[in-house]
Amino acid sequence: MIKFEKLPYTFIIAGHIVITIFMIAVPFLVKIFFYAAIVYFVLRLLTSANKNNEVILAACYLSCLEVFLRMNNAMLFYEMIKYLVIIFMVAGLALRGFSLKSIPFVFYLLLLVPSIVIASQNIPIDESLRKAVAFNLSGPVTLGVVALYCFQRRITATRLEEILKLSVGPLVMLCFYLFVVTPDIRDVVTNTASNYATSGGYGPNQVATALGIGMFICFIRFLRIKSLRLNILDIILFLAFTYRGWVTFSRGGVLTAFLMIAAVIFTLFFLRRSEFRFAFIPKLSVIAVGLVLAWGYTSLATSGLIDKRYANEDAAGRAKEDLSTGRAELITIELEAFLENPIGGIGAGMVKYYRAKKDGIVAASHNETSRLLSEHGSIGILSLLVLIITPLIFRLSHKGNVYFYAFLIFWIATINHSAMRIAAPAFFYGMALLYVVKPKLKKKQISEKKLPELATL
């Protein structure tokens, strides 16, 4: 069976662009592609028995594909990717087991149970407990299962790079699709609010988050790969992702991507200072110049509205009082629910009804941290501490994953501006827990490496 992650990077990118062109012409092909991808990953898993962490490959690819699928209504149900990620991870656990040191995440999953019991007592009579609980706990459960599989799971740095390389494909599909199907930017950008038209008709927050992942992966590839041809491709993709992220007018995903990039730069600087100084600084200069030019173009295309958006101003140039664009009010109500029910919270999925009772507005939470407090109470605080402290302790003795802080930042930043609406924050949290090791050198490579030393004796 073809291992697509082993194919040349240019072939992966070109292939996904060609597939997207056919999908735009015949929209039904999006569904065919999605289910074909599921079949492919299932067959890979069955034929390999997960020897090379095929479940991570599948989960990463599907997590990066999710927003594009939702945009095209290609899934059987809204949360399908989260359930697929859970299924693949459970299959991986069944085939390869898990570390006994991952018990904190078993404890974390158990901490979610009380909120279900409390919700069953508080839910309105005419509402479905199953739907309310499933919608709000699908993200946290996905995170727990992914963490359970990934914690201290050995993976080579080469394999991790292959997984990220293949996952650029579905993100390129999303970006290319936005360039082709969305209206002219000048025609639809009239204010500084998040823009659904430039986001393909789907939620700008989630679209910007997915594009931010693309920015990050292309940046690290550009930084670490020495091929000029691939560097040119990655810088083009990076700037394309960045531009499309900016014109969604949703700041969270783009700012999160830059935080991830900063985390990788600092990690590489402290781990490899000499290499950083001599190899990375020229590339960072190219990135900086590219970003300045891209921002200038974006500013012209949006008639300066993008400048006002990031300056927290409205279209008339007046400073907005609420930097959080309404999220602060939602968080305040959730904190009120926590203060009224500090032990066990009001129950999973109940904050929506609590908010409707308080101010008559039914709105889903944008902040997973405040939702944990309101719906899970002090138990939510405990579960959050488990999620934060466990990886930090793990990092003290396992420093091989140079993306550790980037993945952790992606998780904490995303859940605080976009909750866990998509699978990506849950999945990439798990990626921070991987035990990344250097690939073993073959005998021939070892001999070639030692040859110069022998010649000097």
> Residue 260 burial by CB count (10 A; 0-12/13-18/19+): exposed, middle or buried?
buried
**Mean pLDDT for the chain overall:** 88
**Which pLDDT value is given to residue 456?**
26
Please write the tens of the pLDDT for every residue from 307-331.
Answer: 999 988 888 777 776 555 566 777 8
What's the CA gap between 65 and 78, in Å, rounded?
A: 13
Please write the tens of the pLDDT for every residue from 183-221.
Answer: 999 889 988 889 999 999 899 999 999 999 999 999 999
- Which residues, at least 6 apart from 88, have a Cβ–Cβ distance to it below 8 Å? 41, 45, 55, 58, 59, 62
Separation in Å, CA 349 to CA 135, 143, 170, 344: 7, 17, 31, 13
Stated pTM of the model = 0.92
**Which pLDDT value is given to residue 274?**
56
Please write the tens of the pLDDT for every residue from 229-271.
Answer: 999 999 999 999 999 999 999 999 999 999 999 999 988 887 7
Mean pLDDT over 405-433 rounds to 94
Please write the tens of the pLDDT for every residue from 66-86.
Answer: 999 999 999 999 899 999 999
CA angle 345, 349, 353 (to 5 degrees): 90
Between 163 and 272, name the one with better pLDDT.
Answer: 163
Mean pLDDT over 28-51 rounds to 96
In the chain, what are the domain boundaries?
4-274+383-437
pLDDT above 50: residue 433: yes
**Which pLDDT value is given to residue 83?**
96
> Lowest-pLDDT range, 3-17, 321-335, 426-440?
321-335
Strand ranges for 280-385 from DSSP E: none
**Which pLDDT value is given to residue 419?**
82
Separation in Å, CA 367 to CA 243, 343, 431: 26, 20, 22
- Contact, 119 vs 347, CB < 8 A? yes
Please write the tens of the pLDDT for every residue from 335-365.
Answer: 888 888 889 888 887 887 788 777 766 666 6
**Which pLDDT value is given to residue 335?**
85
Q: What is the largest CA-CA distance in the chain?
A: 84
What's the CA gap between 310 and 318, in Å, rounded?
A: 12
What share of the chain has pLDDT > 90, as a percent?
64
CA 308 to chain centre: 27
Other Cβ atoms less than 10 A from the Cβ of 298: the count is 20
Mean pLDDT over 106-123 rounds to 89
Reported as a pLDDT band with limits 50, 70 and 90, residue 452 is very low
Helix/strand/coil for 154? strand
**b/e map of 51-68 (b: 16 or more CB within 10 Å)?**
ebbbbbbbbbbbbbbbbb
Strands 435-437 and 154-156: parallel
Axis-axis angle for helices 228-247, 281-301 (nearest 10): 40
Axis-axis angle for helices 378-397, 113-122 (nearest 10): 160
**Which pLDDT value is given to residue 276?**
62
Q: Closest by alpha carbon to 433, among 70, 98, 61, 64?
A: 98
> Residue 450 burial by CB count (10 A; 0-12/13-18/19+): exposed, middle or buried?
exposed
Other Cβ atoms less than 10 A from the Cβ of 259: the count is 17
What share of the chain has pLDDT > 70, as a percent?
91
Reported as a pLDDT band with limits 50, 70 and 90, residue 454 is very low
**Which pLDDT value is given to residue 171?**
98
Please write the tens of the pLDDT for every residue from 88-102.
Answer: 999 999 998 888 889
**Which pLDDT value is given to residue 98?**
81
What's the CA gap between 120 and 171, in Å, rounded?
A: 39
**Which pLDDT value is given to residue 142?**
96
Axis-axis angle for helices 29-48, 80-96 (nearest 10): 10
Mean pLDDT over 15-32 rounds to 97
- Contact, 294 vs 239, CB < 8 A? yes
**Which pLDDT value is given to residue 453?**
37
**Which pLDDT value is given to residue 448?**
42
Q: What are phi and psi of 7, to 5 degrees?
A: -70, 155
**Which pLDDT value is given to residue 38?**
97
What's the CA gap between 223 and 287, in Å, rounded?
A: 9
- Which residues, at least 6 apart from 219, have a Cβ–Cβ distance to it below 8 Å? 234, 238, 261, 264, 287
**Which pLDDT value is given to residue 126?**
64
**Which pLDDT value is given to residue 240?**
97
Helix/strand/coil for 301? helix
Reported as a pLDDT band with limits 50, 70 and 90, residue 272 is low
CA 160 to chain centre: 15
